[in-house]
Amino acid sequence: MTTGSHQEPIPLLDLKAQYATLREEIAAAIERVVASQQFILGPEVEAFEQEVAAYSQCTYGIGVSSGTDALLVALMAIDLQPGDEIITTPYTFFATAGSIARLGGHPVFVDIDPITYNIDPAGIEAAITSRTRAIMPVHLFGQMADMEPIMGLAEYHGLYVIEDAAQAIGAEYRGRRAGSIGHMGCFSFFPSKNLGGFGDGGMVTTNDPKLAERIRLLRGHGAHPKYYHRIIGGNFRLDALQAAVLRVKLTYLDEWTAARQQNAERYRQLFSAAGANIGLPEDAGYGRHIYNQFVIRSERRDDLMAHLKAHQIGCEIYYPVPIHLQECFSRLGYEVGNFPASEDAAEETLAIPVYPELGEERQARIVDTIHTWI
Ligand SMILES: *Cc1c(COP(=O)(O)O)cnc(C)c1O
């Protein structure tokens, strides 16, 4: 096997490879919407809502404009008030905490389990106060948070659980799918998610008919019927064009997930065969991990990243600054050292390609390149 920087670049994610296999089906789906001239909500969105709800073992799905808006509308649905507290993880994409703060709520952080990178349930109880309204676990990188103790605490203290399932569509925890265990699940169809659209999109899932109705209202300025506004909502609608594209892609999702899992397994074999001493992601054993990202770990992460980039291998840091240390949250008064597991992860982790079309040859080259660096 040959390695070297003269070889073709390996991107972190190759959406062109995916699109090449779907071109005609997607063209037909888009043409269907264009021919109907029904661009806002309508039958494509309704069908997609039912399909994602069924896929996620939920009764209801409400299509929204992004994963961020899914989180926002879920918090609006529980009528979050200024000063209310939501318990979540500081090691996540910004939207999780940002949506809480946008409504005047206080994100209250609890450190992660350093093995799974998900919120550590052992720290939650101490963070609960009389102002706590909900717990917002994030199923990071495609593996679900430890939901059983989280649901137990929520039930005992009368709290909502809102799952940030943006990276976890189809992931399972003891046979139950992401978005079906808490009161609501929030999904993103940002292009880099496992089910990605041709732009922004999102979905809230729930089994609660009252919450479903409220989210549906909030998504369209709180109006029902049209122009009679019962509550104040916003424009959080999913486009019919996105729904049509996503419906095509949903039929391939299980195949893609299987390929990602196979790639993850192959990485483990290749790294172990090479005797490469690098931190690999650990499967908590809850069930289906969908590998939105394959995240490795090294104390010399920045150097490794430079090495991979020099060899044209795509990689990315998710996330370089934990949320409690973000400039915009300095008013919350957190400081370095408050959440050591999250801070260490932010300094040591690196996502490498795991997309379905990656293939053995490219994986071998990636492992070789990392092994050489070690
Ligand atoms: C992507 C993502 C979001 C936000 O989704 P958008 O569709 O980009 O708004 C929220 N939370 C997590 C954990 C995400 O990965």
**By residue range, what is the domain housing residue 188?**
18-110+117-250
Residue 243 shares a structural domain with residue 276: no
Of 223, 250, 277, the residue at which a domain comes to its end is 250
Per-residue pLDDT tens digits for 54-93: 999 999 999 999 999 999 999 999 999 999 999 999 999 9
The answer to whether residues 326 and 94 touch, using CB atoms and an 8 Å cutoff, is yes
Instruction: Tell me, in angstroms, the distance from the centre of ligand 1 to residue 147's CA.
Output: 20
Q: Are both 264 and 369 inside the same structural domain?
A: yes
- The Å distance, Cα 225 to ligand 1 centre, comes to 31
pLDDT(332) > 60: yes
Asked whether 2 and 364 are in contact (CB, 8 A), the reply is no
Tell whether the model's pLDDT for residue 152 goes beyond 50: yes
Of 96-110, 191-205, 271-285, 304-318, the least confident: 271-285
Instruction: Give the whole-number percent of the chain exceeding pLDDT 90.
Output: 97
Query: Total structural domains in the chain?
Result: 2
186 DSSP β-pair partners: 164, 204
Could you tell me the two tokens for 123? 């720290």
Q: Could you tell me if residue 365 is inside a domain? A: yes
**For residues 233 and 33, what is the distance between their CA atoms, to the nearest angstrom?**
26
Same structural domain, 243 and 272: no
**CA–CA gap between residue 116 and residue 320 (Å, rounded):** 17
Identify whether 166 is part of a domain. Answer: yes
Same-domain check for residues 298 and 335 = yes
Instruction: Classify residue 216: in a domain, yes or no.
Output: yes
Asked if the model's pLDDT at residue 45 lies above 60, the reply is yes
Nearest atom (ligand 1) to Cα of 200: 7
pLDDT: is 366 or 6 the higher one?
366
Q: Are residues 308 and 210 in the same domain?
A: no
Name which of 175, 366, 112 is nearest 264 in CA terms: 366
Q: Give the ligand 1 atom nearest the CA of 95.
A: 10
Same domain, 238 and 266: no
Residue 3 lies in a domain: no
Tokens of 87: 């318990």
Last residue of a domain, one of 232, 250, 268: 250
193 is catalytic: yes
Residue 6 within a domain:
no
| Residue 184 and residue 105 in one domain | yes
pLDDT of residue 6: 65
Ligand 1 centroid to 217 CA: how many Å?
22
In a domain, 10, yes or no: no
Q: Give residue-wise pLDDT tens across range 205-246.
A: 999 999 999 999 999 999 999 999 999 999 999 999 999 999
Q: Which of 193, 226, 249, 309 is catalytic?
A: 193
Q: Above 60 in pLDDT, residue 311?
A: yes
Residue 78: inside a domain, yes or no? Answer: yes
On whether both 183 and 309 belong to a single domain, the answer is no
Note whether 298 and 279 are within 8 A (CB). Answer: yes
For ligand 1, pick from 117, 188, 193, 200 the residue to mutate: most ligand atoms within 8 Å of CB.
Answer: 188
CA distance between the termini of the chain: 18
Domain boundary among 250, 270, 300: 250
**HEC profile of the chain:** CCCCCCCCCECCCCHHHHHHCCHHHHHHHHHHHHHHCCCECCHHHHHHHHHHHHHCCCCEEEEECCHHHHHHHHHHHCCCCCCCEEEECCCCCCHHHHHHHHCCCEEEECCECCCCCCECHHHCHHHCCCCEEEEECECHHHCCCCHHHHHHHHHHHCCEEEEECCCCCCCEECCEECCCCCCEEEEECCCCCCCCCCCCCEEEEECCHHHHHHHHHHHECCECCCCCECCCCCECECEHHHHHHHHHHHCCHHHHHHHHHHHHHHHHHHHHHHCCCCECCCCCCCCCCCCCCEEEECCCHHHHHHHHHHCCECCECCCCCCHHHCHHHHHHCCCCCCCHHHHHHHHHEEEECCCCCCCHHHHHHHHHHHHHHC
CATH code of the domain covering residue 368: 3.90.1150.10
> Ligand 1 centre and the CA of 203: distance in Å?
11
Q: Is the pLDDT of residue 122 over 50?
A: yes
* Amino acid 277: pLDDT: 86
Considering the domain architecture, whether residues 164 and 312 belong to the same structural domain is answered as: no
Residues within 6 Å of ligand 1 by CB: 66-68, 92-93, 95-96, 138, 164, 166-167, 188, 190, 200, 202
Q: Please check whether residues 240 and 170 belong to one and the same domain.
A: yes
Mean pLDDT calculated for residue range 118-132: 98
CA distance 195 to 315: 20
Count the residues in the chain: 374
Which residue has its alpha carbon closest to ligand 1 atom 7?
67
Within a domain: residue 1? Answer: no
Question: What is the pLDDT averaged over residues 200-204?
Answer: 98
Q: What atom of ligand 1 comes closest to residue 192's alpha carbon?
A: 1
Instruction: Tally the C-alpha atoms within 13 A of residue 76's C-alpha that lie toward its C-beta.
Output: 25
98: CA distance to ligand 1 center in Å? 11
**What's the rounded mean pLDDT across residues 336-364?**
98
Indicate whether 177 and 282 sit together in one domain.
Answer: no
Q: Is the pLDDT of residue 2 over 50?
A: no
Contact, 308 vs 11, CB < 8 A? no
Nearest CA to ligand 1 atom 2: 166
CATH code assigned at 140? 3.40.640.10
Statement to judge: residues 246 and 358 lie in one domain: no
233 or 2, which is more confident: 233
CA-nearest residue, atom 14 of ligand 1: 166
> Average pLDDT, whole number, for the chain?
97
Radius of gyration from C-alpha coordinates of the chain: 21
Cα 297 to middle of ligand 1, angstroms: 22
